[in-house]
Amino acid sequence: MQLEGKVALITGSAKRVGRTLALALAEEGCHIVVHYGRSAADAEQTAADIRQAGRQAWTLSADLSDEAAVTGLVPAALQQAGRLDILINSAGIFPPEDFLAADAATWDRNMMINLKTPFLLSQAFARALPEGRQGKIITMLDALALRPANHHFSYTVSKYALRGLTEAMAHALAARNIQVNGMALGAILPNVNDDPALFQRLAARIPAGRTGSPQDVAQAMRYLLRDADYVTGEVIRVDGGRHLTG
């Protein structure tokens, strides 16, 4: 896809990985709708940095645990930006809990934010895309959540299911020239609950010998969005080979 002049909606792009993807896409010539939940000041900063790079940027807040707010996001983005060509479902939650501790409320929250939200947003995006115009959707998976894990139980199940959603949407939308792919991240940035020193020690267990960076994710994103129009339903692991180890 020729990226110059295209408009991307990126959920959770006020900071961290989503912000880097937003700035990388702005460098490629895209205008960006910066979605955020609570990080209003960071979202404004990201938008300012995008404008500084010569592109248009809009900020939109929506609580992705609230179905009505999720349903309103694509129409609000279209109203602001006039068009949408790319949707990146980057927002997510990562609560620690094992199977015996998991409760229905945490389960529902993971399924809503990590799974149902990408479904609802992708459907609204695809419905709004004029027939014949190319579109791209990216979902964010987790290289270690493509196998069972007991430490983030509901999260892991939601990301497993998100892989199924990614493939099912790719199949459903291929004939409409909308490509849907996932990026399964490894250790990119420590979570708020993670000990940063422990996170760095993970490097020894990663075949590439280092943890990743948001820039590594941006490289894979560029490939999927800019270079790979015949790739759909694929999941690219961005994890330095971590999935290859036990």
Ligand X SMILES: NC(=O)c1ccc[n+]([C@@H]2O[C@H](COP(=O)([O-])OP(=O)(O)OC[C@H]3O[C@@H](n4cnc5c(N)ncnc54)[C@H](OP(=O)(O)O)[C@@H]3O)[C@@H](O)[C@H]2O)c1
Nearer to ligand X, 174 or 235 (CB): 235
Q: Residue 60, interface with ligand X (CB under 6 A)? A: no
We find the least distance from the C-beta atom of residue 102 to ligand X, in angstroms, to be 17
Q: Residue 128, interface with ligand X (CB under 6 A)? A: no
155 catalytic? Reply is yes
Q: Residue 65, interface with ligand X (CB under 6 A)? A: yes
Contacting ligand X (CB under 6 A), which of 23, 34, 60, 93? Answer: 93
Site string for ligand X, 11-30 (x = CB under 6 A): -x-xxxxx------------
**Which strands make up the sheet holding 235-238, listed edge to edge?**
57-61, 31-36, 7-10, 86-89, 135-142, 178-185, 235-238
Active-site residue, selected from the candidate residues 36, 155, 223, 230: 155
CA distance 69 to 38: 14
Q: Residue 210, interface with ligand X (CB under 6 A)? A: no
Q: Residue 92, interface with ligand X (CB under 6 A)? A: yes
Q: Residue 242, interface with ligand X (CB under 6 A)? A: no
- Which tokens belong to 195? 């000990």
What string of DSSP letters covers 62-123?
--TTSHHHHHHHHHHHHHHHS---EEEE-------B-TTT--HHHHHHHIIIIIIHHHHHHH
Instruction: Select the span of 46-54, 77-85, 92-100, 202-210 touching ligand X (CB under 6 A).
Output: 92-100
Contacting ligand X (CB under 6 A), which of 52, 53, 63, 98? Answer: 63
Is 91 exposed, middle or buried (CB count within 10 Å of its CB: 0-12, 13-18, 19+)?
buried
Q: Residue 151, interface with ligand X (CB under 6 A)? A: no
We find the least distance from the C-beta atom of residue 23 to ligand X, in angstroms, to be 13
Instruction: Select the span of 146-154, 180-188, 201-209, 220-228 touching ligand X (CB under 6 A).
Output: 180-188
CA distance 111 to 108: 5
CA distances from 201 to 64, 144, 186, 194 (A): 33, 17, 14, 12
CA distance 11 to 95: 18
If DSSP codes are grouped into helix, strand and coil, which group holds residue 185?
A: strand
Contacting ligand X (CB under 6 A), which of 51, 56, 78, 94? Answer: 94
Residues of this chain that interact with ligand X (CB under 6 A) are 12, 14-18, 36-39, 63-65, 90-94, 113, 140, 142, 185, 187-189
Residues with catalytic function: 155
